[in-house]
Amino acid sequence: MSSDSLPPLPQNRIVVGCGGVGLDFLAAVASYPNPDDKIRSTSLKVQGGGNAGNALTCAARLGLNPRIISKIADDPQGKGILEEFEAVGVNTSFLTVSKEGNSPFTYIIVDNQTKTRTCIHTPGYPPMLPDDISQWNLLSALDGARLAYFDGRLTETALILAQEAARRKIPILIDAERKRERLDDLLQLADYAVCSAKFPQAWTEAPSIASALVSMLLRLPNMKFVIVTLGEDGCIMLERSENEGLESEENDVDSLLELLKQRKDDSVPFPACVSSLVTKLRTNGIGAVSGRLFVGTAEKIPPSELIDTTGAGDAFIGAVLYAICADMPPEKMLPFAAQVAAIGCRALGARTGLPQRIDPRLAYFLE
């Protein structure tokens, strides 16, 4: 596909990301081994990893200009991480390189039978501290940025950057994968959040995912939308209404979610989206918020094509970063992000299958 047939790239494509990077050692096996088993891999891949590293690599392939803030060591793994970023177009000017210690790395066992992956992570050492990067250099990373992204790691450094981004009115997106130290402080500054399936209820103690999303918007007054990703079950998004108080009716959020799920066309194999009108979304014992509820579907990947789900959530976030920069409405953003993630699941590793913007499988979603 020619890039001439696509819409123009976003005018401002600079995205600053702060978080985890590393190297992944991926071994695919016929089935997960029992204790004391000795088995052979069916395939092997060594490539860069880490939530922030993967999401920004995805964003770069889609045409954004990402800048990464993280820490590696001056070891063979670190050199590989650096070279891979530079090859794909991720700006490494703000990456800290320690002369000693080790770069982060992860052993990943991909089970071909169950299509699951097991990760064994070794953190980098020494850990990143705010003093590892000068205040001037840290803040200059935000110059001209359209968006700032944080995966919840390196929190002391991330908070300094997030506070400055908020001061400059640069929108902030948080990857809320699980509860982490001082993640609450980052969320208070955020405009957008993309959550794992378990996070909203774990964080709010609400009785359902839908009520947890309402609770999150009530607790986080700056938050414009929250997305929860559900793997092969797609995603759910709650967007705050800019015209609060103008909605015509009030709806129980769990009942509305069930109605939207019934409107899904399960015969459609590619990602799609259904949404409510702007309404007052209520949940008993928690409160109500004005907004729209969205249900996004995932692509139905044939079993013969599904290779590895490693990094699927990171790919989804990378696509959301692009969508925000491109001012995509949610009705386009959610299917686009789901399609990018699905394409990535057709190859071993978090980055091998990430699509370029000109990939013909994305054309329909970029029109």
Of the candidates 181, 242, 176, the residue with the CA atom closest to the CA atom of residue 204: 176
Task: Please give the chain's pLDDT, 367 residues, in tens.
Answer: 555 678 899 999 999 999 999 999 999 999 999 999 999 999 999 999 999 999 999 999 999 999 999 999 999 999 999 999 999 999 999 999 999 999 999 999 999 999 888 999 999 999 999 999 888 888 899 999 999 999 999 999 999 999 999 999 999 999 999 999 899 999 999 999 999 999 999 999 999 999 999 999 999 999 999 999 999 999 999 999 977 655 567 899 999 999 999 998 888 889 999 999 999 999 988 999 999 999 999 999 999 999 999 999 999 999 999 999 999 999 999 999 999 999 999 999 999 999 999 999 999 999 8
pLDDT at 269: 85
**Domains, the chain:** 10-366 (3.40.1190.20)
pLDDT at 139: 85
* Cα–Cα distance for residue pair 133/354, rounded to 1 Å: 30
Tell me, yes or no, if the pTM score tops 0.85. yes
How far, CA to CA in Å, does 239 sit from each of 171, 210, 224, 316? 15, 12, 6, 17
pLDDT at 246: 54
pLDDT at 2: 52
Phi, psi of 231 (to 5 degrees): 60, -130
* Cα–Cα distance for residue pair 343/341, rounded to 1 Å: 5
pLDDT at 248: 61
pLDDT at 1: 52
